[in-house]
Amino acid sequence: MPAGPDPTTAPRTPLDIVDVRTGMFGVAGTGDTSGFGGLVRTVAMPGPSERPYGGWFDEVVDVLAEVLDESGTGYAAAVESVVVDRGELTLNIAREHLVEVVQALRDDPDLRFELSLGVSGVHFPHDAGRELHAVYHVASVTHGRRLRLEVAVAEGDPHIPSTTAVYPANDWHERETWDFFGIVFDGHPGLARIEMPDDWPGHPQRKDYPLGGIPVEYKGATVPPPDQRRSYS
């Protein structure tokens, strides 16, 4: 698969600061003497890139813009920003135009991103109004290219259109992202939990989910003490 721009020579992408964290895991006031309490870490995301993007990236963006403008969707309305970072191309997509974008990426002969590699979720609790992100990786077997799509929504309105009509294999991936992050994929044929029990409260991979100190929630499950567990040696 041909590579994009060389990340060692490409201009540095500007960063959007999301949060500045202190200490370890957000814990404070514990009398920590390990030194971790003095950690200061910046949470930053790469910001929009400027032309030229390099490699085949400009061609893909130009073709997509042409297709979307001709269809009436409008490139400017559908694509919020283009990010080139570490040799990878990411298109940040407005959720209301996601289906039109993936349809164009799949069907146009000059694009032909016919393979979706799945959907995953990310939770940025300090990215106000854009706390939940759905990330899609699509590949063109025809042209040997790969790009990333990203859609951001608010925790209070976590709805994104399902892409299963375009990429049927995203069925289980969207269910998993709903299960673990709480993103609702409107139009999915059967949006139900896929890993956790149906009555499981909350979404375990969100950063506001408790790390511990909660009772075992599997009904009827028992965990024997270590000296009574089955030995595999």
Domains of the chain in sequence order: 48-217 (3.30.460.80)
> How confident is the model at residue 4, as a pLDDT?
62
Residues 99 and 86: their CA atoms lie apart, in Å, by: 27
> How confident is the model at residue 232, as a pLDDT?
46
Q: Are 96 and 152 in contact (CB under 8 A)?
A: no
> How confident is the model at residue 233, as a pLDDT?
42
Residues 202 and 117: their CA atoms lie apart, in Å, by: 26
pLDDT band at 41 (very low <50, low <70, confident <90, very high): confident
Residues 107 and 176: their CA atoms lie apart, in Å, by: 26
Q: Considering only residues 190 and 8, tell me which one the structure prediction assigns the higher pLDDT.
A: 190
Count CB neighbours of 27 within 10 A. 11
Q: Strand, helix or coil at 101?
A: helix
Has residue 9 got a pLDDT over 70?
no
* Average model confidence (pLDDT) across the chain: 86
Amino acid identity for residue 230 in this structure: R
- Tokens for 50? 């400027």
Q: Strand, helix or coil at 86?
A: coil
Q: What distances in angstroms separate CA 88 from CA 5, 16, 136, 152, 179, one per listed residue?
A: 8, 17, 13, 19, 28
Q: Which of 26-40, 84-98, 113-127, 152-166 has the lowest mean pLDDT?
A: 26-40
Has residue 159 got a pLDDT over 60?
yes
Percent of the chain exceeding pLDDT 70 equals: 79
Q: Strand, helix or coil at 123?
A: strand
> How confident is the model at residue 197, as a pLDDT?
82
> How confident is the model at residue 23, as a pLDDT?
75
> How confident is the model at residue 15, as a pLDDT?
73
Q: Are 98 and 161 in contact (CB under 8 A)?
A: yes
Residues 112 and 110: their CA atoms lie apart, in Å, by: 6
Q: Are 145 and 56 in contact (CB under 8 A)?
A: yes
Q: Considering only residues 70 and 232, tell me which one the structure prediction assigns the higher pLDDT.
A: 70
Find the length of the chain.
233
Has residue 45 got a pLDDT over 90?
no
pLDDT band at 71 (very low <50, low <70, confident <90, very high): very high
Percent of the chain exceeding pLDDT 90 equals: 63
Q: What is the pairing mode between strands 132-140 and 145-153?
A: antiparallel
In the block, tokens 């146009």 appear at: 108
Q: Which of 8-12, 37-41, 76-80, 146-150 has the lowest mean pLDDT?
A: 8-12
